[in-house]
Structure 1
Amino acid sequence: MLEFIRKPLLAAVLIPAMTSLPVGVALAQATSPSQIIGIWEAEDGNVKFEMFDAGGSYAARSIYGVRLVEADGKTFKKDTHNPDPKLRDRSLKGIVFITNLAWDARDRRWEGGNMYDPSSGRSLSARVSLVGGKMELRAYMGTPMLGRTMVLRRAQ
């Protein structure tokens, strides 16, 4: 088979097959739901938030984010893209932007979450895994395969 056809064909077959394998279970290291609680930050320092117990599920509130503040780096922006006009004047400081994360003991991760993206006003699905002491926050629309993962560490 011609090389230029073989590689895309292999990618088209292997990538979906590999992403559907249950490797997350083998890699997941969380053993209890409360391990998610605490302050987490991106390795580049551009995002910082607090995960907390929201009474039966887990949620996150913003502490800092490069996209959440004005050019001065201190003043938090308003929630101007919120689909609810009543909320467009609120500050993004301390907003709860992840809700409804529920511990899945079988898969050892938090599933079923909702994540609000203030830069677009859209709501996404979210799930969280702890791997090697780091948090993998996956946000997606529809299927997790079509999402993005942010890797975070516990804040010092």
Structure 2
Amino acid sequence: MRLLTATYLLLLTLNTSAHAATGVLGDWITPTQSVVRLYPCGSDVCAKIVKVSPTSPETTDLKNPDAGQHNRPLCGLDVGMGFQRIDANHLDGGHLYDPQSGRTYKGTITAEGDDLKLHGYIGISLLGRTEIWHRVSTVVACK
């Protein structure tokens, strides 16, 4: 019985450590219920939509200012690019694309446990807006 308890505690500790060690990387659910994956792309960190919200009125990039991109599917769309790792929990220097408005913002990203804070801005950071996403524990795929 002690061996089982010790093994369970060890596995729980390893699972928690592995979970915490992922920092900003992984799958995150947005306030609109889409899921975005942050992943390494070369020396940067990028973000792409891996599941579009079931309540989304669009499934393509209709708000993009480039009319030639309007038929581009939202699922699989890169919405974060060029982020540099400051450390496992902090990214800076990248750009965030908002498919709901068709606008691109400078951005910073910070992981705090199972919360991800994305701060997007135009010009200076003080005039920006922060949005909080939550970690998704299961891997999802485009549908």
Q: How high is the TM-score relative to the length of structure 1? A: 0.64
From 79, 88, 92, the counterpart of 1:111:
92
Counterpart residue number, 2:7: none
Alpha-carbon distance in 1 for matches of 2:100, 2:77 = 13
Aligned residues: 117
SS at 2:23 equivalent: helix
CA distances 1:50-77 after superposition (whole Å, capped 9, x unpaired): 001011100111123449833xxxxx52
Q: How far 1:94 sits from its partner (Å)?
A: 1.4
Range 53-62 or range 113-122, more displaced: 113-122
Question: Are 1:59 and 2:46 matched, yes or no?
Answer: yes
C-alpha distance in structure 1 between counterparts of 2:50 and 2:123, whole Å: 28
Partners of 2:114 and 2:99 in 1: how far apart?
A: 27
Q: Output aligned runs, 1:105-144, within 5 Å.
A: 105=87, 109-144=90-125
What 5-or-longer segments of structure 2 have no aligned partner?
A: 1-19, 138-143
CA contact (8 A) 2:38 2:48 kept: yes
Looking at structure 2, the residues matched to 88 and 60 of structure 1 have their Cα atoms a distance apart, in angstroms, of: 20
Distance 1:36 1:116 in 2: 17
Letter of the structure 1 residue corresponding to residue 61 of structure 2 = D
Q: C-alpha displacement at 1:97, in angstroms?
A: 0.7
2:29 to 27, 30, 41: 41
Aligned-partner Cα distance in 1 for 2:123–2:54? 24
More helix by share: 1
Asked whether the equivalents of residues 119 and 129 of structure 2 are also in contact (C-alpha less than 8 Å), the reply is yes
What SS does structure 1 have at the residue aligned with 2:51? Answer: strand
1:7-86 matches, within 5 Å, as 35-42=23-30, 46-66=33-53, 69-70=56-57, 76-86=58-68
Residue 91 of structure 1 pairs with residue 73 of structure 2: yes
Q: What SS class does the counterpart of residue 86 from structure 1 fall into?
A: helix
Distance 1:86 1:45 in 2: 25
Note the residue ranges of structure 1 that are not aligned, 5 or more in a row: 1-30, 71-75
Change (3 A) 1:41 1:93: same
